Amino acid sequence: MRTKLTARVFALGVCVLLPLATASVSQAASSQAASFPTAVTPHDSVRVVYYEDTDAGDWQSDVATATAVWNSSVDDVKFVEADSEHQATVHLIATSGWPETSSDDPGSGTVELGEEAVSEGYSAPRITAHELGHILGLPDNYNGDCAALMSGHSAGTDCTNDHPDASEIANVEAIFADGFRLRMPAHVYRDDAATPSMLVHG
C-alpha cells in the first residue's frame, strides 16, 4: 500500500516522509536518518517539476512568485507550469484552512494554500514558497529564524522572507543532483507546544 507523507505548516501538525521503491541513487540516503548530503557536483542535467494552479484562486500570483524564487535559487530542479504536453505532478489549491502539503516523493504532491494563516497575519508569498520547499523534499525547521524559509510560522507574522537560505538551497540541490531525486529515509516530524519540531523515527 502506498503511503502519503504530510507536512503541516504554520500550525501544529505532522510531516511524514516515507521511502518508495529503492533505486541505486537512493542507497546513499539510507544511512542518513535525519540529515541531507551536502556535496553537490555541478552538471548540466536538470529535473523539471510541472505544476498546475488552476484551483489556486487569489494565490496564483504568489505561486508565480514562489516558483520564480525557487527557479532562481537552485540549479538542479526547476518548476514549470504544466501544459497539454506535460502533465502536472504538483497541484496547488486554495483552501479556507491552514496551509498543508501532501507528497509521496520529492517533485510531486498537493499543496493546500490555506487562507486561515493569511488572515492571522502570515505572509502569503512566504507560505507559498515554504510549501513548495516541502514539494522539493525539505522538512519543517521551526527554529524561529526568519532567514530560514522552512522555519515557517515560528518566525512570526512580521517575517516576510520568501527565499531559501544557503543550507536549504544546498539540501534541495543534493536531493535532485544530476536530475535524480534522492529518496528520504522514513521519519515523522511532529510539532507541538511541549516539544516543538520533535523528530520521531518511524
Give kind and range of the element (H or E) at residue 137: none
Catalytic residue among 52, 100, 112, 131: 131
Q: Which of 118, 130, 195, 192 is nearest to 157 (CA)?
A: 118
Structure letter (DSSP) for residue 196: T
CATH label of the domain that carries residue 35: 3.40.390.10
Query: What pLDDT is attached to residue 110?
Result: 93
- How many domains does one find in the chain? 1
Cα 137 to Cα 77: distance, rounded to the nearest angstrom: 12
Per residue in 80-114, pLDDT tens?
A: 999 999 999 999 999 999 999 998 889 999 999 99
Average pLDDT, the chain: 76
pLDDT beyond 90 at 63? yes
Position 182 confidence tier, pLDDT thresholds 50, 70, 90? low
Query: What pLDDT is attached to residue 105?
Result: 86
Q: Which residue type does 155 have?
A: A
Q: Which of 8, 186, 19, 14 is nearest to 106 (CA)?
A: 19
Instruction: Please state the pTM of the whole predicted model.
Output: 0.72
β-strand 47-55 against 90-95: which pairing, if any? parallel
Position 180 confidence tier, pLDDT thresholds 50, 70, 90? low
Question: Which residues is 198 bridged to in the sheet?
Answer: 190
Does the active-site annotation cover 85?
Answer: no
Q: Between 129 and 196, whose confidence is greater?
A: 129
Question: For 133, phi and psi rounded to 5 degrees?
Answer: -60, -40
Range of the structural domain that residue 68 is part of? 5-200
Question: For 53, phi and psi rounded to 5 degrees?
Answer: -130, 30
Cβ pair 175, 181 in contact under 8 A: yes
Position 79 confidence tier, pLDDT thresholds 50, 70, 90? very high
- Name the maximum alpha-carbon separation found in the chain: 48
Per residue in 152-179, pLDDT tens?
A: 999 999 999 999 999 999 999 999 986 6
Which residue is listed with cell 505532522?
14
Average confidence (pLDDT) over 43-50: 80
